[in-house]
Amino acid sequence: MHKVTFHDHKPKTLSLHDAVLDGLSREDKRIPPKFFYDARGSKLFERICEQPEYYPPSVECDMLGGLADEIAQLAGRGRLLIEPGAGSAAKVRLLLDALRPAAFVPMDISFDFLKSAATQLAGEYPWLPVHATCVDFSHSLPVPEAAPDAPRLLFFPGSSLGNFDRAEAGAFLSRVRDTIGSDGMLLIGVDTKKDEAVLNAAYNDAAGITAEFNRNLIHRMRRELDLQVDPDTFEHKAFYNAEAGRIEMHLVSREPQHIELDGKRFRLAEGESLHTENSYKYAPEEFLSMAAGCGLQPLRYWLDEQRLFAIYLLRVADI
């Protein structure tokens, strides 16, 4: 009925099992944030986006809604629109009528989530071919061969770039440049540096949804790896690290405990933390100089009135 095709590239990526084994073996224990997003974690993230303290989605959506025509004028219609980490693909809906892409390639790490989001979207936009691609976008950006050969526009909203450290962000932007090619464009939303109280509140919502999202890692370890570990023994901790220019999220063990995996015992002291996420914030000049270093130059960029969030439209620089 609708034009949806599915492409699964998932098996190539690091498994939760390997990430936990590696992450718990380190002195500074850590689990990469992409493991938040199973079906439950993706739903919890959707709920974070509804919390009043978590300003990025509402600010970005207001901006995108108002900018859609201007963006379409600058980028032109009929592009192949690619969105890594599309999730429920809510934001792209603000652009589709104005941009009239030749096709849409949503990419996401959670197959179930991607599948329902892509099917739903194709139902709402019958004119839009959808090539849903299940992939870890931090690893590669595989555009399906079946997708039309049109100039590309890669849409990367939500400040997802913030999860990469600076070197990884640079590597990602360079990969984006290679993926979109010489006539390609990038439309990216990036959270700005601002009053620390605003940042801290955004990751410590009063309803405790971010805390539950953070603890979802422990739920996954129980469910998928059969580990004997109680999510309630971990406390959510999130704070702005000004020196590093990032929000850090941790799960802090409330008590001494150990976790066993593959016959290995990992000890956690009381107060010891599992570092689960970094979310880097960029002043516009910082982001633009990083992008320039990756061969991307701005066509235009926008900030909301309070400078809470920035949206950049960039093109591939001439060489």
% helix, strand, coil for the chain, step of 5 = 40, 25, 35
What is the b/e burial string over 228-247, where b = at least 16 CB atoms within 10 angstroms of the residue's CB? ebebebbebbbebeeeebbb
Of residues 269 through 308, those in contact with ligand AVJ by CB under 6 A are 277, 279
The CA-based diameter of the chain, rounded to the nearest angstrom, is 59
CB of 148 to ligand AVJ, least distance (A): 29
Q: How far is CA 145 from the centre of its chain?
A: 24
Radius of gyration from C-alpha coordinates of the chain: 20
Q: Does 83 bind ligand AVJ (CB under 6 A)?
A: no
Q: Which is nearer to ligand AVJ, 200 or 257 (CB)?
A: 200
Please pick, from the candidates 55, 104, 172, 203, the single residue that binds ligand AVJ as defined by CB under 6 A.
203
Residue 31 contacts residue 19 (beta carbons within 8 Å): yes
Report how far apart, in Å, the C-alpha atoms of 92 and of each of 83, 231, 317 are: 8, 34, 25
Q: Which is nearer to ligand AVJ, 48 or 251 (CB)?
A: 48
CB of 182 to ligand AVJ, least distance (A): 29
Please pick, from the candidates 13, 42, 88, 163, the single residue that binds ligand AVJ as defined by CB under 6 A.
163
Q: Which is nearer to ligand AVJ, 48 or 107 (CB)?
A: 48
CB of 191 to ligand AVJ, least distance (A): 7
Please pick, from the candidates 48, 130, 132, 147, the single residue that binds ligand AVJ as defined by CB under 6 A.
48
Q: Does 253 bind ligand AVJ (CB under 6 A)?
A: no
Please pick, from the candidates 110, 210, 216, 273, the single residue that binds ligand AVJ as defined by CB under 6 A.
210
**Residue 273, SS3 per DSSP:** strand
Q: Which is nearer to ligand AVJ, 125 or 280 (CB)?
A: 280
